[in-house]
Amino acid sequence: MCKKLMRDIIITCMLVIAIAMTGSIKADASGVSDYGALKVSGTKLVSSKTGENAVLRGVSTHGINWDVGYPYISREAFSTLKDNYGVNAVRLAMYTTEYYGYCDKAGAGESQDTVRKTLKDRIDTGVKAATELDMYVIIDWHVLNDQNPNKYKKEAKAFFKEMSSKYSSNDNVLYEICNEPNGGTSWSDITKYAKEVIPVIRKNDPDAVIIVGTPTWSQDVDVAAENPLSFDNVMYTLHFYAATHKDSYRDKLKTAISKGLPVMVTEYGLSEASGAGNIDTGEANKWLNLLDENGISYFAWSLSNKDESSALLKSGTSKKSGWGSSDLSKAGKWVFSQYKKRNGMASVPAPAKVTGLKLKNAKSRKMVIKWNASLDAGGYQVAYATNKKFKKAKKKTVTNTTCTLKKLKKKKTYYVKLRAYKKAGTGKVFGKYCAVKKIKIKK
């Protein structure tokens, strides 16, 4: 008895030490079911359910206007971000100008109305995928080449009226009303714009978090702190690219925080400000440490395979989801390893491989699947497809050791594999898949 008691004490002490070292017992980034709707309190983004600091560690798409951005708007892509890398939020970056822009389609062959409908459909796909996966999502009015958000203020008001009406019942939607004002656009210009756009959103969605860009490509949060807007639940953006923006820009953030300004980093990269050039992980680490110390949310640019150093996927990678390390760029490997570490995922060992997988036909195009329990598993993920390579495979997550798959195709052969997972922070740590089994659906 004494030996057992001593052993238990030692194990408990070791666990406490491990928790202190890794922070893995309490994830800093959780999902909508944990935080609920978000609100702003002081300088913090907080949970309306618990009042705790809510941290979003997210990823921004590239422009959803183009093929470097929109192919990654899917449940499968977002699920990979969440489950494999601890991402709990996605930003949908919709450019207002340039080719296929929402306000200026430039050389696009379709009509402006068709372009707008297509872009709104892409946003809806993204919001629905994020909602199904318990993730937060930012709808981003991506001002850039138009410089001053007042240029298309009328269009912005109509857009956010429609979006806030459509998603007013969603607890997970945030609105970013002007990405990067630039070209000499002043804080006075931005506040004039915000004072007209924010009430449009508030009429439909009174408590939603609204994010406002700041001057000089959303870098001058210290300027905004001198004269913030009078609305509740408003945050202000700071963007940085680590190889360009260093101590003087971190000083801007520190000044803004000291004056009580709630800040969110809706875009950052490891590269130079152009999105290309060298990457600087040392400076990026300083930034993320500062943001974590102050409970500030941040979104990495960008979920794309574009041939530029800020892209998170390797140039030429064709996979639209399910990315492993070999599919990630140098920046992507660093960003996602940091997210896993900072969410407490890196310290959790993978569960054992599942054994005893059995498949059985059932009536009405159903299949019953059973397997042996894994003692260290928090749940299981079943993958199934009608081909050996599992192309376009469907996945189902369960917590017990049996599940029934429905609405299968009669007389089709299905291939099934299974893996266990442990919950870790905002994501899951997966074990290896078991051996594939197949069955032909008879009834």
42, 295 in Cβ contact below 8 A? no
Contact 107, 113 (CB under 8 A): no
For residue 38, what are the CA distances in angstroms to 31, 32, 52, 167, 275? 11, 9, 10, 14, 30
- How wide is the angle at C-alpha 352 spanned by C-alphas 348 and 354, nearest 5°? 135
Q: What type of residue is 282?
A: G
267 tagged catalytic: yes
Backbone φ, ψ for residue 99 (5° rounding)? -60, 130
Give the closest residue to 42 by CA, choosing from 300, 198, 228, 171: 228
Residues 132, 196, 226, 267: which is the catalytic one?
267
d(C-alpha 434, C-alpha 178), whole Å:
47
Of the residues 76, 155, 162, 180, only one is catalytic, namely 180
User: Rounded CA gap, 95 and 140, in Å?
Assistant: 8
What distance in Å separates the CA atoms of residue 154 and residue 162, rounded to the nearest whole number?
13
Distance CA 398, CA 392 (A): 20
Q: Return the amino acid letter for 229.
A: L
Nearest Cα residue to 359 out of 443, 441, 439, 442: 439
Q: Calculate the CA 267 to chain-centre distance.
A: 12
Helix residue ranges, H only, 23-142: 32-35, 75-85, 112-132
What Cα–Cα distance (Å) separates residue 276 from each residue in 229, 292, 311?
Answer: 34, 25, 9
Is the backbone of residue 250 left (phi > 0), alpha (psi -120 to 50) or beta? Answer: alpha
Tokens at 72, concatenated: 């990654």
Summarize the chain as % helix, strand, coil (round to 5).
35, 25, 45
The answer to whether 53 touches 46, Cβ cutoff 8 Å, is yes
H or E segment to which residue 204 belongs = helix 187-204
Q: Give yes or no for a contact between 429 and 422, defined as CB atoms under 8 angstroms apart.
A: yes
Q: Please identify every residue annotated as catalytic.
A: 180, 267
